[in-house]
Amino acid sequence: MAWGVCQAWVACWAESMRCRIVQTLLECVEGDITAQEVDAIVNAANESLLGGGGVDGAIHRAAGPELLEETRRLGGCRTGDAKLTRGYRLPARYVIHAVGPVYRPDDPDVPRLLASAYRRCLEIAQQQAFASIAFPAISTGVYGYPQAEACEIALHTTLEFLDQSTSLRLIRFVLFGAPAYSVYVQTIQRMAQTDSRLHVLD
């Protein structure tokens, strides 16, 4: 395939949207979290930290068996919290394993626990002085959280975190499939209308 044609094909296929908040670039991309070349990717893990399906399984397969050896030593993780490991064979140097809640529409604790999972990842990234982090849509697969509600929580928690100064220069949301990606794009566009700190770049 000629280079120009190849570039055009990549441009159509690779959906992405970028915004700036103070000194941090906030990106949404449609893609695979295991391919992200960032300081840390976030895993949507379960309390055992011993691997599972969905994004958890994909991360363990791509990182190799050393990741399970390390997570076995961590003694699990409570819902709403997160723990750090190395990234092993992943392009990302580290993995932050976050445990989001199982969705229960009548439980008022559920939104708080999802926000806490995102906040703990950002706090760990800050403690480690990371410059870049990539998140999947935590709890929106097997754990059943509706994509639009989870997206609001992910973005509000991130914006609240960015009220303080941070080492993070790139926060990327990696969405698996076009429907999840468009939920993020639409939510950001709506939030940018009322939040003057949020500048949509493209």
What residue ranges bind ligand ADP (CB under 6 A)? 32-34, 44, 54-56, 58, 100, 136-143, 174, 176, 180
Q: How many residues would you count in the chain?
A: 202
CB of 100 to ligand ADP, least distance (A): 5
- Active-site positions? 56
Measured from the CB atom, is 18 or 103 closer to ligand ADP?
Answer: 103
The string of DSSP codes covering the chain is --HHHHHHHHHHHS-EEEEEETTEEEEEEES-GGG--SSEEEEEE-TT-S--SHHHHHHHHHH-HHHHHHHHTTT---TT-EEEEE-TTSSSSEEEEEEPPPP-TT-THHHHHHHHHHHHHHHHHHHTT-SEEEE--TTSSTT---HHHHHHHHHHHHHHHTTS--S-SEEEEEESSHHHHHHHHHHHHHHHHH-TTEEE--
CB of 171 to ligand ADP, least distance (A): 15
CB of 198 to ligand ADP, least distance (A): 23
15: its two tokens: 């959906």
Amino acid at 76: G
CB of 105 to ligand ADP, least distance (A): 15
Measured from the CB atom, is 76 or 192 closer to ligand ADP?
Answer: 76
Measured from the CB atom, is 138 or 198 closer to ligand ADP?
Answer: 138
Measured from the CB atom, is 99 or 168 closer to ligand ADP?
Answer: 99
CB-based contact 172:29 (threshold 8 Å): yes
Measured from the CB atom, is 34 or 132 closer to ligand ADP?
Answer: 34
196: its two tokens: 């003057």
CB of 187 to ligand ADP, least distance (A): 15
